[in-house]
Amino acid sequence: MQRRTVVALDAMGGDRAPEAIVNGAIRAALELNIDIVLVGDEFAIRNATIEALPEQVTIRHTTQVIAMHDEPATAVRTKRDSSIVRAAEMVRDGEADAFVGAGNTGATMAAALLRFGRIRGVNRPAIAIPIPIPGSPRKQLLVDGGATVDPEPAWMVQWAKLGQIYARTRLGIAEPTVGLLSNGEEPGKGDALRKAAFALLETEIVNFVGNVEGRDLVRASADVIVTDGFTGNIALKTLEGSMMAMAGLIFGVLDEPEFAPQATAIKLRLLEGAADLLPDNTGGALLLGVNGVCIISHGSSSPDAIVNACRVAVAGVEADVVGSLAVALEASSSARSDAVVAPAVV
């Protein structure tokens, strides 16, 4: 009998931890038929739910917690018995297949990077965020959604490649296109980083479609949209903020007494139509470039979000996404070295 997938879940991370995490874990274990190790303070975990933990959910007790405001690298170095560090080590040591965390994003990434190591050919990791397109079943991957600020242009090319491979395995797109997020569509647009990255992407990436703009994030443009982690963070939070603001405006109007006859029905249809747009339903984002499956979940994760983050983790493990990324990068880089080396050999 095949061993069930094991997810190491940081029980202490996120605004609603440990309650939302523990209750999400119980549901995820049963719904996805996986084993979950809740990593964190045993007392807090046991007190976080009124349900008895099912046999598939176990606890790995730790004595330290990395807080949301802790400086990531320092915290990972000094808090060695924290839930984040121990969960990452379980994957490194083969005790778990994937690490899921909704806590301090920087520390979660740093722990994965330092404990898993990097895939050969990758300089820095990037977060791959699937962005829903309103009114369409398609999603576009934003890479990097916030892992690495101030990248070298060459790192962005690596992210484009990782993103293409991930879009193929995760989103089922046979020939994913790549766009560069910039301040205009014309090839000459952008700051110095964009101009340098554009030149490299044009040479090295199959199906590079050129620059895309901020508004292209919410309409079908490119399957993989590459940017630096700073700009990616600004774009994602702006997108989330504006959608929430618009939703607030609409619900405010629907709450006016004269619209009472149809307000509830309209709200239900809106929630249905917007379901794919909610962060909870995306659940989590894969950290691309580290040598193991690490899923970054939203800080405000609900039990639903945790279930979905575990779902993304399991899909990543089952598709051996890390192995595919490593093989594909290796192939692409040796193809390139061959191309460069060949003339000299001849």
Applying CB under 8 A, which residues contact its own copies? 69, 71, 133-135, 146, 149-150, 181-184, 186, 188, 190-192, 194, 213-219, 228-231, 233-250, 252-254, 256, 258-259, 261-262, 265-266, 269-270, 273-274
Residue type, 246: M
- Whole-number Å distance between alpha carbons of 226 and 180: 5
Measured from the CB of residue 303, what is the shortest distance to its own copies in angstroms? 23
With tokens 């692409």, the residue in question is: 332
Q: Which of 30, 263 has the CB closer to its own copies?
A: 263
Measured from the CB of residue 72, what is the shortest distance to its own copies in angstroms? 10
Measured from the CB of residue 97, what is the shortest distance to its own copies in angstroms? 30
Among 152, 144, 109, CA closest to 128: 144
β partners of residue 75: none
- Whole-number Å distance between alpha carbons of 10 and 20: 11
Q: Which of 11, 193 has the CB closer to its own copies?
A: 193
DSSP 8-state symbol, 98? E
* Residues whose CB falls within 8 Å of the CB of residue 60, separated by 6 or more in sequence, listed in order: 8, 37, 38, 39, 40, 86, 87, 90
Beta-strand pair 126-132/139-143:
antiparallel
Measured from the CB of residue 118, what is the shortest distance to its own copies in angstroms? 21
**Is 36 in a helix, a strand, or coil?**
strand
Q: Which of 249, 327 has the CB closer to its own copies?
A: 249
DSSP string, 253-307: HHTSGGGHHHHHHHHHHHHHHHGGGSHHHH-EEEEETBSSEEEEE-TT--HHHHH
Among 130, 134, 142, CA closest to 172: 130
Measured from the CB of residue 189, what is the shortest distance to its own copies in angstroms? 9
Q: Which of 269, 336 has the CB closer to its own copies?
A: 269
Measured from the CB of residue 67, what is the shortest distance to its own copies in angstroms? 11
DSSP 8-state symbol, 340? H
Q: Which of 171, 230 has the CB closer to its own copies?
A: 230
Q: Which of 35, 228 has the CB closer to its own copies?
A: 228
Strand order of the β-sheet with 98-101 is 57-61, 35-40, 6-10, 98-101, 293-297, 284-288, 126-132, 139-143, 224-226, 178-181, 208-212
Measured from the CB of residue 263, what is the shortest distance to its own copies in angstroms? 8
Question: Residues 146, 232: contact at Cβ < 8 Å?
Answer: yes
Measured from the CB of residue 140, what is the shortest distance to its own copies in angstroms? 12
Q: Which of 154, 244 has the CB closer to its own copies?
A: 244
Measured from the CB of residue 28, what is the shortest distance to its own copies in angstroms? 28
Residue type, 11: A
Q: Which of 35, 216 has the CB closer to its own copies?
A: 216
Q: Which of 192, 346 has the CB closer to its own copies?
A: 192
